[in-house]
Amino acid sequence: MKQNITFSDFVDQFRAYDRYDQFGYEALRVLFDYFEEYEDSCGTEIELDVIAICCEYSVEHWEDIASNYDIDFDDDDDKKSKVIDHINENSVFVGECKDGIVYAVF
């Protein structure tokens, strides 16, 4: 038995698991939109598992990602774009929000 949820339901579930602050409102919006787009493109429904999402996805500032993954830059590089390229090559780039880059963690 599956249940369709709204963005508000999605956020409420993160609050219920005391995981809202791991992402914040804007990053949750990015994740929700990503999951809806994925469902539409694949024709497969996703089961909401807050804990799994918290383990598999992260939101971080691009500078922290660069530091954590030892991404080297040339002086003329667009550093944020290079971080997004690195994510696309090694993981899944989900989107951006004011708090940082939302991506899958592998």
What is the residue type of 50? V
Please report, for the chain, the start and end positions of each structural domain, with discontinuous segments joined by +: 7-104
pLDDT at position 1 is 61
CB 30 within 8 A of CB 97: yes
16 by Cβ neighbours in 10 Å (0-12 / 13-18 / 19+) ranks as exposed
pLDDT tens for each residue of the chain, 106 residues long:
677 899 999 999 999 999 999 999 999 999 999 999 999 999 999 999 999 999 999 999 999 999 998 988 887 778 999 999 999 999 999 999 998 999 998 7
For 37-58, how does the pLDDT look when each residue is reduced to its tens digit (9 = 90+)? 999 999 999 999 999 999 999 9
Q: How far out from the chain centre does Cα 9 lie?
A: 18
What tokens appear for 59 in the block?
A: 């939101």
pLDDT at position 106 is 72
Q: What is the pTM of this model?
A: 0.90
- Among residues 53, 7, 69, 1, the alpha carbon closest in space to that of 33 is found at 7
CB 28 within 8 A of CB 59: no
DSSP conformation class of 37: H
- Residue 99 in 3-state DSSP? coil
